Amino acid sequence: MRNLIAGEARKALTGRAWWSLPLAGAWLCLITTFGYVSGGEKAIAAGSTSLAVGQDVARSWMMMFLLAGVFGAVHVTRDYASGTMVRSALLAGSRSRLFGAKLAVATAAGAAFGLVAAALGAVSVYLGPLPFGLEAAADGETALILLGVFACCTLAAPWGALIGWIVRNQTGAVATLIGLTLLVDPGLQRLVPGVAKYLLTIAMSSVYRDVKPDLLSLPWAYAVIAAWLVAALVAGRHLVRTRDIA
């Protein structure tokens, strides 16, 4: 199994996805960071604080979890897109072993995305406000936000991989992740916040300590995320074992 995981890790590092997706995520997060720090003076004048601006900057790096999920989906579906899934399963020894190896590699990649996001988020908290004449400020809550960003990225990548196993089409899997994260879940949160807080991406809001109302407590958020991952794991594994993978 160790050699199989090493082989899947090597696959994950081929092509452009391993560097282009975190780069795109960092760019999106930096744009959001710029928005917070450029409007920081006005926010402070309206009653906010330098510490609150720094926490918003740290929280803006949560967007990296979407790209971690896309990476997980691409890592699975590109074998379908290239027509090599059957060969991969044969070399792995079984479909279940391939399923487990890809999931392990996706989780490790998610942790790497999380480390990048947390590290760049910390740098942004301390350096972002300076060009705008603001005081850089951070506290224990800022550290917990960055820890939550790391956790969300680590959990989002296997979620993306499982969506990839279920949908099997690269465009379809990526569109599903983007649609759920940017359209469906936020839309339902506006319409029915009492129900939407049990959706996976909304539950992640509690993990990176968003300040929106109607969010779950942290233990319940982790329980909900675990439930979604287990449901997707059961569905994905069943489909892999019972459907034609050609």
- The tens-digit pLDDT sequence of the chain (246 residues) is 878 888 888 888 888 888 999 999 999 999 999 888 888 778 887 778 888 888 999 999 999 999 999 999 999 998 888 888 878 878 778 888 899 999 999 999 999 999 999 999 999 999 888 888 788 888 999 999 999 999 999 999 999 999 999 998 889 999 999 999 998 888 888 888 888 899 999 999 999 998 888 889 999 999 999 999 999 999 998 988 887 766
Task: Tally the residues of the chain.
Answer: 246
Q: How far is CA 26 from CA 53, 63, 78, 180, 220, in A?
A: 19, 9, 23, 20, 29
Q: How many angstroms separate the CA atoms of 143 and 12, rounded?
A: 30
**Longest pairwise C-alpha distance within the chain:** 64
Q: How many angstroms separate the CA atoms of 38 and 33, rounded?
A: 8
Residue 10 sits at the vertex; the CA angle it makes with 8 and 11, to the nearest 5 degrees, is: 65
Q: How many angstroms separate the CA atoms of 238 and 207, rounded?
A: 29
Structure tokens at 242: 């019972």
Q: How many angstroms separate the CA atoms of 209 and 186, rounded?
A: 16
Structure tokens at 127: 């350096």
Place of tokens 């510490």: 51
Task: Write out pLDDT tens, residues 164-208.
Answer: 999 988 899 999 999 999 988 888 888 888 888 999 999 999 999
- CB burial of residue 210 (10 Å; 0-12, 13-18, 19+): middle
